[in-house]
Structure 1
Amino acid sequence: MKITRQKYIPICFESIRGLFITLFIYTAFVKWVQMPTFVGQMERMPFPDWAAPYVAYGLPSTMLILALLLMMNKKPKRTVCIAMGILSTLSIFIILIITRTISPSYPCACAGILGLSWNGHLMLNLVYILLGGIALILLPSIDVDPKGEYTNSANASIHQQT
């Protein structure tokens, strides 16, 4: 079977969307499982102690909601933009930590998932921001109806195969 450009674009977009969903669900799950530790780590961050529980519970909740929105695929452009915005904000925060702009030392070893260093976590975020940009470039080539389904016949056959 020859894969044409019409079929390749939705496959690429769906792959990127799947990577975002996996990242957000995994991150939320890890944070929820390790919540007491995560709250303690947030208390060492350079913001008021009273904010730590709100950030600790809010971050994985936001990630899970974003994963669900990505799964529904009703407003893919908006959802990818929100995901990129969150990752960009976290990346700026990581840069401020790495450069010790907001704290004279690393506030904790909680650089996130997969046991990454702060630099590794920043690189992962930047890769996902780049993937989000690629998804936004691909999106105008994909026809999505209000239900989140692909509408043109070339793309619809790909969606039905998954």
Structure 2
Amino acid sequence: MKRKIIIEIISSLLILLFLYASVSKWLAFKTFIGDMNNQPFPNWMTPYLVVIIPVAEVLIAMGLIFEKTRVPALYASFVLMMAFTIYTVTVLLHAFRYVPCSCGGVIKKLTWPQHLFFNLFFVAISLLGIWLKKRDAQHEVRTVGA
């Protein structure tokens, strides 16, 4: 029972993160596009990324809501947060001359070291959620098989 509550809390935190991030990007869409154009990758990617990133965030959040899609959504959360974390580490290592934050809302106000810890927290809870779901599945197999 305790495991299920922790999984629900993890899922809820990730849902809040991804919905907040995507909605803030859409509410300040012109700013988001400008920030994406200032990223250290080719500008031809911007039209794709400004759609793919917020849509992926919403799809992950929706996947986390339902029990049937929760595990793939936890893996997707882990992958997306790892990508953001790797990017943050490259920024902290000064791999780029200038890098604006293309995050939305109050997350945009974080310093890069704060971003790193923020991202690592969500990477960690995604991994914890995956691990707990696997343990849940193993427990169910043992219970049904007994």
TM exceeding 0.5: yes
Which residue, 117, 122, 126 being the options, matches 1:128? 122
Higher-Rg member (1/2): 1
Pair 1:108-2:100 in alignment: yes
Following superposition, the deviation at residue 58 of structure 1 comes to 1.5
Return the offset for 1:121. 1.4
Kept in 1: contact 2:22–2:54 (CA 8 A): yes
1:44 aligns with: 38
Higher helix share: 2
Amino acid at match of 1:133: L
Q: Within 5 Å, which residues of 2 pair with 1:1-162? A: 7-101=1-95, 103-105=96-98, 107-110=99-102, 112-114=104-106, 115-142=109-136
What is the Cα deviation at residue 57 of structure 1?
2.0
Larger RCO of the pair (alpha carbons < 8 Å, separation 6+): 2
Q: Aligned partners of 2:46, 2:112: CA distance in 1, in Å?
A: 19
Go from structure 1 to structure 2 and tell me whether the alpha carbon gap of 1:33 and 1:138 turns closer, same or farther (over 3 Å shift). same
Contact residue 111 and residue 118 of structure 1 kept, 8 A: no
Deviation at 1:112, TM superposition (A): 4.8
Q: SS where residue 7 of structure 2 aligns?
A: helix
1:155 counterpart residue number: none
Identity %: 24
Count of aligned pairs between the two proteins: 137
Gaps of 5+ in 2: 141-146
Poorly superposed stretches of 4+, deviation over 6 Å? none
Structure 1, unaligned runs of 5 or more: 1-6, 144-150, 152-162
Task: Single out whichever of 53-62 and 17-26 deviates more from structure 2.
Answer: 53-62
**AA matched with 1:104:** R
